[in-house]
Amino acid sequence: MLVSVIIVSFNTKELTVKAVESVNKYSIKGETELIVVDNNSQDGSPKVLQKYKSSVPYIFIQNKTNTGFAKANNMAINKASGKYIFLLNSDAQLQVGVLQKVVDYADKHADAGVVAPKLLNPDGSSQPSVFRLPTLKRSITNYWKNTHELDKYTPKSKNPTEVESVVAAAMLITPIALAKVGKLNEKYFMYFEDLDYCRSVNNVGLKVYYLPSATVLHHHGSSGSSAITERNQWKRLVPSSRIYHGTLKYYLIYVISRIAQLTGVYK
């Protein structure tokens, strides 16, 4: 098998089904398997996904608890038979030719650890999906400004570009990355696992590539959220930030953020 596509599902039944259907529609014929892990959804997802009639080899894993994003993906990686691993969010859908394009690019670039397609909003516009890896300075700035975007952007070039990090909503992991870096860091329940993985890829001498000719539709961020929701989301980033930065740097960031709170920069 050439590529194993992995989808982690949690209470996103309709979107997950669309993601699964996109894999069936745009698979590499005879060379794609699909593995779906459900993290104890309560919206009827397990029943639908368990009975799904896939046109590609299909494995469904049902968890009794929400194990988190990283651990659920790793469970699927352990079951995967593909040479390449392609992580796909449950709220994302493959577009025509995307799997073949990222695999072909990885095949031609021995230094590739991760290859990521361009993400599109539902209206077809570009969705920022490339990160600058969080440094201490950048993190303090983000906390101070009360933004969770973490220097996310879209490269302007239409050509393949080496970048620091990409969103795990859609990314190909190569065999050499799995051999040198391993699977996702399960210390992260949610958030930062993609940043951590890409940092590790860079640390072992491999590269992260952004391939704009390959596209994936991603629903994240397409609907507005309230200010309260965004603040709560930012607060959920904090535990993962502590793991990523280490305790000392984390507490320095925390002190700065508290000063920002006390001075009214954000609440």
What pLDDT score does 133 carry?
A: 75
All structural domains of the chain with their residue ranges: 3-138+149-222
What pLDDT score does 145 carry?
A: 56
* Cα(205)–Cα(200) distance, integer angstroms: 9
State both tokens at 208: 């992260």
Q: Are strands 84-89 and 165-166 parallel, antiparallel or unpaired?
A: unpaired
Give the type of residue at 17.
Answer: V
* Cα(242)–Cα(244) distance, integer angstroms: 6
pTM summary value = 0.82
> Residue 74: which H helix or E strand, with range?
helix 69-79
Contact 195, 131 (CB under 8 A): yes
- In sequence order, what are the residues at sequence separation of 6 or more whose Cβ sits closer than 8 angstroms to the Cβ of residue 98? 26, 117, 170, 214, 215, 216
3-state secondary structure of 29: coil
What pLDDT score does 246 carry?
A: 56
Rounded to the nearest 5 degrees, what angle is found at the Cα of 58, between the Cα atoms of 54 and 62?
Answer: 115
Q: If you search the block for the tokens 């300075």, which residue do you land on? A: 137
At residue 168, φ and ψ (nearest 5 deg) are -80, 5
State both tokens at 148: 């969770």
Q: If you search the block for the tokens 């039944």, which residue do you land on? A: 13
At residue 5, φ and ψ (nearest 5 deg) are -95, 130
> Residue 129: which H helix or E strand, with range?
none
What pLDDT score does 223 carry?
A: 29
* Cα(260)–Cα(166) distance, integer angstroms: 28
* Cα(104)–Cα(263) distance, integer angstroms: 52
* Cα(35)–Cα(27) distance, integer angstroms: 13
Residue-wise pLDDT for 78-134, tens only, equals: 999 999 999 999 999 999 999 999 999 999 999 999 999 999 999 999 999 998 876
What pLDDT score does 138 carry?
A: 58
State both tokens at 238: 């904090």
Name the CATH topology of 3-138+149-222.
Answer: Spore Coat Polysaccharide Biosynthesis Protein SpsA; Chain A (3.90.550)
Q: If you search the block for the tokens 């925390």, which residue do you land on? A: 254
What pLDDT score does 191 carry?
A: 76
Intervals of the chain under pLDDT 50:
221-232, 251, 266-267
Contact 171, 115 (CB under 8 A): yes
Burial (0-12, 13-18, 19+ Cβ within 10 Å), 235: exposed
* Cα(256)–Cα(216) distance, integer angstroms: 37
